[in-house]
A and B are shown apart, each in its own frame.
Chain A
């Protein structure tokens, strides 16, 4: 398979999950394991461009596929706009859900450059976060959407409403 633009190969047990192949064999530990049951979304990657929970895919199933992990999202050292949004809009606290959340959000924006707030929330329903209460994540995705459209993101609420 191709992972983050590089051809990789490996020999795995038939039951090896893709997430474990990425983490243990390729040492790409940015893809996290939160539940191993497809609920939390911390292990979300792009499989042939589609956001996919990598604990729900066998490594062998991904044979010949193009995989992008969080480590492959930044290009030429520049953060992807979604990464920048999570950083700029405090879309993270402990950060454990963040890579999966970013990969899912990037998938939403690849399909729809101007999602409504409801579309962002609906699109990210499969990713759990225990720290933030989700609102700053929505703001992060809105920031990224504006950036990707070439617009200046609206200033954050804490600069307008607070203090």
Chain B
């Protein structure tokens, strides 16, 4: 055997804009999303949903529907073989309605039929009679009646502390939808041995698996959940939607069953961002030092719990923002109503309170006659300080002042560009005359926890396998589009000095949980696990062979290749498996005190808006940001996360809201639920602060959520600056600008 002794460097390691491995199939149209899956002889599933927000079911007759040609099965509550409820934090949501429906769109029955039209006809033939009940839809009323999922109080410092300058206000945020472009979809295939394989787009296959086996009443090894192609998520795929229904239908019929929600059904088929009503009082000295912050946060969880308790905690723990303050009292109330269930969405509670405290910081700056940026800098939280809410000592990095100062230094855009109607608030409707447009600039700063908190046992598993042609990374971590797959490859390349790295998404029977693709956690968790596993494997190999270097050709000692990669793969060690945890976090005490978080990130946003004050129209011209990312692992993927995240923040600021009427969603479609388009997209200038995290591969921090947190209040602040209106609610409507 001849060995070449020429070393080659890896090209696409950490810090490069490495290509996405799924990019080519995605541009060619042959990447299989869950809605593209089918199997020979597959039936179509469909769901009968409640037309009422609250009702008792007095009659449910599937007889006529069973006689519809092509129908194979109709299943209701009685057909749920195991545990009849499911849920992320607590199983409180019936798999199918239990005799009462508690929100509009709640599933009552599921059907499997030869094709989608037969299934729809069968739904229409199911006879349901209701005793319609008065829905509880007002969160304030729910709070008065103690209909809550969680109430909590965070108390810190001297409750008697008083500032000379006091500002108070009420702030509201609307119910936003994640609206991933890919609808909920999946395919369940019975294995012929009493089990089932489910292929589904999910953020967390193992927690789906737990809920599925409980509902089916089967041992865990009977069900395997496979990740299929995911068309975006943003929190919408953390809860079970059609997973249990599909498995029940497949087990019942013994045939493969596929199900795809249409857009209207998708809007009721997943949880939403909690709407909020917040009251705040900020007290400060005359020089702008925060003395005390008091807040009451009321978030509506809707009909079932989902992740509402954790969202409440996040809203409360981040209720003051990245600011020092030694006297804090925050009351959080998460209500249970007959509104649509709410749960995870990018930002997870930190979004709502950020709108509250940043609106307050502007109000306080105004009362003090102080520049709002200076006020933020004066109180900026830094390592060595304590979290204003939980009292946790900030360790590692938290460059609050630096993100603010660097953001301020980014040049502002030039004045109104009236060269194209797209640049005017009225857009191509040509309603705005350039002479009437006023410009405003607003700043906001946001902070969020990274990874799971409050003593959750947060772990991820990774298995690394060396093969003669490259490295395999096995994981159950969901790639939802954010680019985790690329980051994992880059880390493995850098550690093992091997270019060819494949990420293989294992099903739930092949590897342990990777945890959820949420909470900005996968770069630090699964990325961290890849770093740990590849480093340990490399070190084992070097020790085994007394070598000093490993690369794609094999094992090296003092510049000589001593063992080829072929031989290494035969003799081993060539495989390494880790279960990787972040440092433990604590449960809070009764006053919400404790080291409940692992790591934090801050970001600052500056929005520039042009407003037509007569018509109440807004064009968001630019949103600039400086974000604390620890370390840039992939510049272009990071820019993509930031630009996309800002767009969702802009959406919440000026257009996105699910409108409810008696618990019913009035705009469950893209005609009336407005997503930002090309025409709405502001320019973005993004810069990064690289101060390494104490816990993260190469110092990296999760980066997915911060763009969506403070971009919303920055836009609101800019509209305030342009119009002089108070702007206490998002999304901002034309009425709020005109002052009707």
Q: Tell me if A's interface is mostly helix, strand, loop or mixed.
A: loop
Contact flags (1/0) for B637-661 with A, using CB distance below 8 Å?
Answer: 1011011111110000000000000
Question: Chain B interface: which of A46-54, A57-65, A86-94, A146-154?
Answer: A86-94
Closest-by-CB residue of B relative to A70 is: B29
Closest-by-CB residue of B relative to A127 is: B678
Measured CA separation A97–B183 after assembly (Å): 12
Instruction: Please tell me if the beta carbons of A122 and B679 are within 8 angstroms of each other in the complex.
Output: yes
Instruction: Please tell me if the beta carbons of A96 and B182 are within 8 angstroms of each other in the complex.
Output: yes
Instruction: Please tell me if the beta carbons of A102 and B640 are within 8 angstroms of each other in the complex.
Output: no
For B422, list chain A residues within 8 Å (CB). 118, 121-122
Instruction: Please tell me if the beta carbons of B675 and A32 are within 8 angstroms of each other in the complex.
Output: no
Measured CA separation A74–B27 after assembly (Å): 10
Closest-by-CB residue of A relative to B682 is: A133
B437 to chain A, nearest CB (A): 17
For B29, list chain A residues within 8 Å (CB). 28-31, 69-71, 73, 99
Q: Does A37 contact B (CB under 8 A)?
A: yes
For B467, list chain A residues within 8 Å (CB). none
Q: Does A18 contact B (CB under 8 A)?
A: no
Instruction: Please tell me if the beta carbons of B636 and A90 are within 8 angstroms of each other in the complex.
Output: yes
Instruction: Please tell me if the beta carbons of B181 and A87 are within 8 angstroms of each other in the complex.
Output: no
Instruction: Please tell me if the beta carbons of A102 and B230 are within 8 angstroms of each other in the complex.
Output: no
Measured CA separation A128–B180 after assembly (Å): 10
Instruction: Please tell me if the beta carbons of A40 and B644 are within 8 angstroms of each other in the complex.
Output: no
**Which of these, A83, A94, A157, contacts B180 with CB under 8 Å?**
A94
Which of A73, A96, A97 has the most chain B CB atoms inside 10 A of its CB?
A96
Which of B27, B231, B640, B688 has the most chain A CB atoms inside 10 A of its CB?
B27
Measured CA separation A50–B108 after assembly (Å): 43
Q: Does A66 contact B (CB under 8 A)?
A: no
Q: Does B234 contact A (CB under 8 A)?
A: yes
A94-B232, A132-B643, A158-B17 known; A121+B678 contact, CB < 8 A: yes
Question: Chain A interface: which of B478-486, B504-512, B584-592?
Answer: B478-486
Measured CA separation A124–B678 after assembly (Å): 7
For B644, list chain A residues within 8 Å (CB). 93, 130-133
Instruction: Please tell me if the beta carbons of A98 and B26 are within 8 angstroms of each other in the complex.
Output: yes
Q: Does B36 contact A (CB under 8 A)?
A: yes
Closest-by-CB residue of B relative to A135 is: B643
Measured CA separation A130–B708 after assembly (Å): 13
Q: How many residues of B contact A (CB 8 A)?
A: 67
Interface residues of B in 40-96 (CB under 8 A from A): none
Q: Does B130 contact A (CB under 8 A)?
A: no
Instruction: Please tell me if the beta carbons of B28 and A94 are within 8 angstroms of each other in the complex.
Output: no
Instruction: Please tell me if the beta carbons of A83 and B27 are within 8 angstroms of each other in the complex.
Output: yes
For B637, list chain A residues within 8 Å (CB). 90
Q: Does A35 contact B (CB under 8 A)?
A: yes
A79-B27, A133-B644, A136-B643 known; A37+B675 contact, CB < 8 A: no
Q: Does A3 contact B (CB under 8 A)?
A: no
A156 to chain B, nearest CB (A): 7
Instruction: Please tell me if the beta carbons of A74 and B684 are within 8 angstroms of each other in the complex.
Output: no
Measured CA separation A39–B35 after assembly (Å): 18
A45 to chain B, nearest CB (A): 10
Measured CA separation A59–B17 after assembly (Å): 42
Contact flags (1/0) for A132-143 with B, using CB distance below 8 Å?
Answer: 111111100000
Instruction: Please tell me if the beta carbons of A128 and B675 are within 8 angstroms of each other in the complex.
Output: yes
Measured CA separation A135–B680 after assembly (Å): 11
Instruction: Please tell me if the beta carbons of A34 and B263 are within 8 angstroms of each other in the complex.
Output: yes
Q: Does B677 contact A (CB under 8 A)?
A: yes
**Which of these, A71, A99, A102, A159, contacts B17 with CB under 8 Å?**
A159
A30-B29, A71-B29, A134-B678 known; A94+B182 contact, CB < 8 A: yes
Contact flags (1/0) for B6-33 with A, using CB distance below 8 Å?
Answer: 0000000001010110111011111111
Instruction: Please tell me if the beta carbons of A95 and B677 are within 8 angstroms of each other in the complex.
Output: no
Closest-by-CB residue of A relative to B230 is: A94
Closest-by-CB residue of B relative to A82 is: B27
Instruction: Please tell me if the beta carbons of A83 and B28 are within 8 angstroms of each other in the complex.
Output: yes
Q: Does A33 contact B (CB under 8 A)?
A: yes
Measured CA separation A34–B671 after assembly (Å): 13
Instruction: Please tell me if the beta carbons of B182 and A32 are within 8 angstroms of each other in the complex.
Output: yes
For B420, list chain A residues within 8 Å (CB). 118, 122
Q: Does A129 contact B (CB under 8 A)?
A: yes
A131-B644, A133-B644, A134-B678 known; A36+B15 contact, CB < 8 A: no
**Which of these, B24, B117, B482, B675, contacts A130 with CB under 8 Å?**
B675
Interface residues of B in 247-275 (CB under 8 A from A): 260, 262-263
Closest-by-CB residue of B relative to A133 is: B643
**Which of these, A97, A102, A158, contacts B181 with CB under 8 Å?**
A97
Q: Does B5 contact A (CB under 8 A)?
A: no
Measured CA separation A74–B28 after assembly (Å): 7
Instruction: Please tell me if the beta carbons of A96 and B232 are within 8 angstroms of each other in the complex.
Output: yes
For B183, list chain A residues within 8 Å (CB). 33-34
Q: Does B565 contact A (CB under 8 A)?
A: no
Instruction: Please tell me if the beta carbons of A162 and B678 are within 8 angstroms of each other in the complex.
Output: no
Closest-by-CB residue of A relative to B28 is: A74
Q: Does B3 contact A (CB under 8 A)?
A: no
Instruction: Please tell me if the beta carbons of A29 and B32 are within 8 angstroms of each other in the complex.
Output: yes
Closest-by-CB residue of B relative to A138 is: B678
A54 to chain B, nearest CB (A): 13
Instruction: Please tell me if the beta carbons of A158 and B670 are within 8 angstroms of each other in the complex.
Output: no
For A102, list chain B residues within 8 Å (CB). 27
A40 to chain B, nearest CB (A): 6
Instruction: Please tell me if the beta carbons of A135 and B635 are within 8 angstroms of each other in the complex.
Output: no
For B419, list chain A residues within 8 Å (CB). 118
B443 to chain A, nearest CB (A): 20
Measured CA separation A34–B635 after assembly (Å): 29
A87-B23, A122-B679, A162-B635 known; A133+B640 contact, CB < 8 A: yes
For B19, list chain A residues within 8 Å (CB). 87
Instruction: Please tell me if the beta carbons of A86 and B232 are within 8 angstroms of each other in the complex.
Output: no
Q: Does B179 contact A (CB under 8 A)?
A: yes
For A124, list chain B residues within 8 Å (CB). 678
Instruction: Please tell me if the beta carbons of B679 and A125 are within 8 angstroms of each other in the complex.
Output: yes
Q: Does B632 contact A (CB under 8 A)?
A: yes
Instruction: Please tell me if the beta carbons of B35 and A33 are within 8 angstroms of each other in the complex.
Output: yes
For A33, list chain B residues within 8 Å (CB). 35, 183, 260, 262
Measured CA separation A103–B483 after assembly (Å): 23
Q: Does B379 contact A (CB under 8 A)?
A: no
Contact flags (1/0) for B672-705 with A, using CB distance below 8 Å?
Answer: 0001011101011001100000000000000000
For B683, list chain A residues within 8 Å (CB). 135
* Given A93-B232, A130-B648, A136-B639: 14 more A-B contacts, CB < 8 Å: A32-B231, A90-B637, A92-B481, A94-B180, A94-B232, A95-B23, A96-B181, A121-B678, A121-B681, A131-B640, A134-B677, A136-B640, A158-B636, A162-B632
11 sampled A-B residue pairs with Cβ under 8 A: A30-B28, A71-B30, A93-B232, A94-B231, A94-B233, A118-B422, A121-B422, A124-B678, A132-B643, A135-B643, A138-B678
7 closest cross-chain pairs (CB), A and B: A30-B29, A94-B481, A133-B643, A95-B26, A70-B29, A96-B231, A93-B481
On B, residues with C-beta under 8 Å from A are: 15, 17, 19-20, 22-24, 26-33, 35-36, 117, 178-183, 229-234, 260, 262-263, 419-420, 422-423, 428, 480-483, 632, 635-637, 639-640, 642-648, 669-671, 675, 677-679, 681, 683-684, 687-688
